[in-house]
Amino acid sequence: MALDEQTRAAIDSLLREHPVVLFMKGTRAQPQCGFSAKTVAALDLLLPDYVTVNVLDYPQLREGIKEYGNWPTIPQLYVKGELIGGSDIVLDMLNSGELADALGVPKPEPVTPAIAISESAANAIHNAVREQPAASLRLQIDAGWGHRMSLEPEKPGDVSVESAGIRICMDPWTATRADGLRIDLEEDLGGTRFRFENPNAPPPVKQMSVQQLREKLARGEDLLLFDVRSDEERARATIEGARPFDQEAMRLIEGLPKDAELIFHCEMGGRSQQAAEHYRRLGYTNVHNLEGGIRAWLEEIENAQAQD
């Protein structure tokens, strides 16, 4: 299938607007092929955020991207508009350190982290390791502070530590994020799972009530309040002082210190939670989501004031 001008323009626009773009099968959260999954895992290790395009949703793009970069397979990684390559090249560059250079990510300093494992978690891990004696326990902490453990062979360049009689191997990036980590076991209605308590991770997104926001506005605080809704939604109702969450807002946030107070709101709190999580993953430590969104604001604040 020939690359038509509309598809070429769409690709050009993506690469102009975003420094890192991965054309893949599936999504970042749910890759639909092993090669895409490996590439996502490599990027997740170094970057908290980047753009992915699911070519399975766009047949013209699926074929067009191959012609665009004269590369026959998917996934394809572009950095600053330049084609890096597919899964094998990305993994080779990750292991050699070239991927970090291409992405502009500082290479980690050699560290040996201290990791604590509770007795219950250690028993569960010992049982799993006994069933696969040739494998080692691998810990991975990605740039978005997602924690994952698996049983895999050790790899060249791994950092290894021992805790509770368990040998833990990890890549150097994970090692820089793991000092002080505690691994425990917890049970809930969904079953048993591991819990990771990491003092290095940014604090979770805080929920701000509409009453708390009203008090801040009444005190005349100069708030960084961002409305993530569409122009059409904002035309129907707004909170005084809220800024549209657009390219200008994103540039403003990029220039702020990481401890700046950021508040996001949408209609009911779902989209704004996603925006807040994005900045938490980027290392911002004072991020808030307006609980209930503008709907709660209208019902609990403006309607109540109108009745007074």
* Active-site amino acid positions: 266
Number of Cβ within 10 Å of residue 140's Cβ equals 19
Strand partners of residue 150: 138
Distance CA 20, CA 82 (A): 9
Contact by Cβ (8 Å): 158, 94: no
Number of Cβ within 10 Å of residue 114's Cβ equals 12
Burial (CB count within 10 angstroms: exposed 0-12, middle 13-18, buried 19+), residue 297:
buried
What are the helix and strand counts (H, E) for the chain?
A: 13, 16
Angle at CA of residue 91, ends 90 and 95, nearest 5°: 115
How far, in whole angstroms, is CA 303 from its chain's centroid? 37
Residues 6+ apart with CB under 8 A from 277: 205
Diameter over CA atoms, the chain:
72
Distance CA 52, CA 243 (A): 27
The runs of H, that is alpha helices, within the chain are: 5-17, 34-46, 59-68, 87-96, 98-103, 119-131, 172-177, 210-218, 231-236, 247-254, 270-281, 293-297, 303-307
Buried b or exposed e, range 158-182, using 16+ CB within 10 angstroms: bbebebbebebbbbbbbbbbbeebb
